[in-house]
Amino acid sequence: MNADIVARLQDSFDVDINSLNTVLKAIEELVSKNIHSARKLEVADRLNFLKNIFSQFDKDLSSSVIALKIEEEYVEHVDLWFKAKLEPSFSQLRKVAQLFNCDIDWLFHGLSKPFTVVEDIFPVNPTEAIAWFNKSHQLYGEPLKIFLIGQQDTPDDLYIVKIYEFNRFETFLIKNISLDYKIDGQKFKNLQDFANCLKLISKNHELASLKKKIKSFVLKRENFEQLLSGQSHPLCVLTTYTPWWEDIWDESFYHKNQYWNGWIELCNKIHQK
């Protein structure tokens, strides 16, 4: 476009070139602001999801508590994250993910699910098994609570949930153990070793502190699916304690309850001579 045409256009709009540039810059900033606002809203939605989940078990959870936990200097900045008025950096989001032990790709980008189930192998050696119970896979220190979970309707997989300080949690699918009475071979041998490990924990006074942490649950299908959905905290569904972990190794007691379909058959098989 030559200078003459530009000059005529300027005259027709009755504005100078500086005013036109100012208008164009304002439009550009408005478009950019709208794009960034969408990002801030998405991140704020995920942050508020986490806050709402954990506030169910910690009524004092606030922006100031979160700021202190993640070593953020200004509470106001954290508060603005939750209000979608300020976008946290990736390094700040990484600290939030560590605080709540949520999936980092979900928090960064909205991918996957908030919480993941980790597949793991339970050690058959008693010493290693006790160490496994007491350790954190994410370096959170020793767990405060340990939950052993089976399904009522179609028992098969064993899940173990560990709860840590600040109600952080890890959920494990134990790949080498099954609670189905039809199992055989190595998986059944692993179950026998697992039952013996539970007996050791229950009977050995030196393991009393570990025993106090362990509880067991049997979930109906809908609660089991909620537990594994990746959208919920385990404490939302783990409400009714069933002491199967103390009965499975006890030959004099296991037959008094029917915790899930095939429970008696499973215990008979474990204890057969």
Confidence of residue 25 (pLDDT cuts 50, 70, 90): low
Task: Give the chain's end-to-end CA distance (angstroms, integer).
Answer: 96
Question: Where does residue 209 rank: exposed (0-12), middle (13-18), buried (19+ CB within 10 A)?
Answer: exposed
Q: What is the pLDDT of residues 74-131, one digit of tens each?
A: 999 999 999 999 999 999 999 999 999 999 999 999 999 999 999 999 998 999 999 9
DSSP codes joined into one string, 88-145: PPHHHHHHHHHHHT--HHHHHHS-S-SS-EEEE---SSHHHHHHHHH--TTS--S-SE
Rounded-to-integer distance, Cα 238 and Cα 227, Å: 9
Rounded-to-integer distance, Cα 247 and Cα 199, Å: 9
Neighbouring residues of 100: CB distance < 8 A, sequence distance ≥ 6: 50, 53, 54, 168
Q: What is the pLDDT of residues 168-207, one digit of tens each?
A: 999 999 999 999 999 999 999 999 999 999 999 999 999 9
